[in-house]
Amino acid sequence: MTTRTVLNSFLAREQAEGQGARVRRSIGTSNLRNFTPFLMLDHFNVTPGIGGFPSHPHHGQETITYITEGAMAHEDFTGSAGILYPGDLQFMTAGKGVVHSEIPVKLKDDPTKACVGMQLWVDLPENLKNCPPRYRDLKGGEIPIAKPNDKVEVKVISGSSYGVGSLRDLAYTPVCYYHYTVKPGGEFKQEVPTDFNSFIYLMQGDLSINKKTYKQHNAVFFNRDGDHIEGKNDSDKDVSFVLIGGAVLDQRIVQYGPFVETSSEKIQEVFRNYQFGINGFEKAQEWQAKIDIGVNEGDVVGNKS
């Protein structure tokens, strides 16, 4: 087995996004515009009653949203709706077109509790850019956990780690997604397919990779020169990070905000479709999410569980 070397790394600096949200964006910045098949990664923090991500469109991509604190409500113009709690994930395929809203929930026991999580944008293969939109929710209790020893725990969201496989494939573009917690002195070794790009984002704590220490909120990107990634927690505190990989797509990325295509001509066509409410955006003109005005815990939003 060969250990992958580091291609690049940098601190994801905090910035404003949406309405009143704060995000630490790594992929999708001037440091790294994209990392096929990945288009964006946000570590977000948004407080109920102050902000969120009200009704907005997507095309030609998938989003993977992972909630770690608080709760997030979602609703879209196809009728899909629900609430995500800590540990829950949602895999959304925008495909041909979707308009949706993502708003933090005001919890009864802590109304000012912020919703914190990760949102990853994944490019769709060119032949699936115009597929019908779809949602797949994955509850935290459904996610298998690998515990190779008393210092390492892995939530296997998508893929396989230490002999534990994920529930099912939830994205069209092949993706592996792991949430690691490593205690002081703990070491990990994660296999990744040789045709996948891969990276780590440090949510909490510091991590040693190839004898170099990377600090909290840094993103670390790897070359495709090995079949696994390994590291160690040399600090005196737990470290929490996501390790994510995805199949490299041999296609152009032409992006206009939340619209992603493979040519400028196709992007212009998608933008016209959205403007005129045609070719997948027929409901975009008159639809607005009910949750845009805010969500209280206990409100009925789709099928909550």
Q: HSE on the CB side for 25, CA within 13 Å?
A: 19
Q: How far apart are CA 7 and CA 225, in angstroms?
A: 10
Instruction: Tell me: is residue 217 an annotated ligand-binding position.
Output: no
Neighbours of 250 (CB within 10 A): 8
**Listed residue (285, 294, 284) closest to 76, CA to CA:** 284
- Torsion over CA of 35, 156, 303 and 65, rounded to 10 degrees? -20
Q: Count Cβ neighbours within 10 Å for each residue of 137-153 and write b for 16 or more, e otherwise.
A: bbebeebeebebeebbb
Instruction: Tell me: is residue 56 an annotated ligand-binding position.
Output: yes
Instruction: Tell me: is residue 265 an annotated ligand-binding position.
Output: no
Could you tell me the CA-to-CA distances from 262 to 139, 149, 296 in Å, in that order? 33, 45, 40
Are 246 and 257 a contacting pair, CB within 8 Å?
no
Neighbours of 98 (CB within 10 A): 26
Instruction: Tell me: is residue 43 an annotated ligand-binding position.
Output: no
Q: Could you tell me which residues are annotated as the binding site for Fe cation?
A: 56, 58, 100, 102
Q: Could you tell me which residues are annotated as the binding site?
A: 56, 58, 100, 102
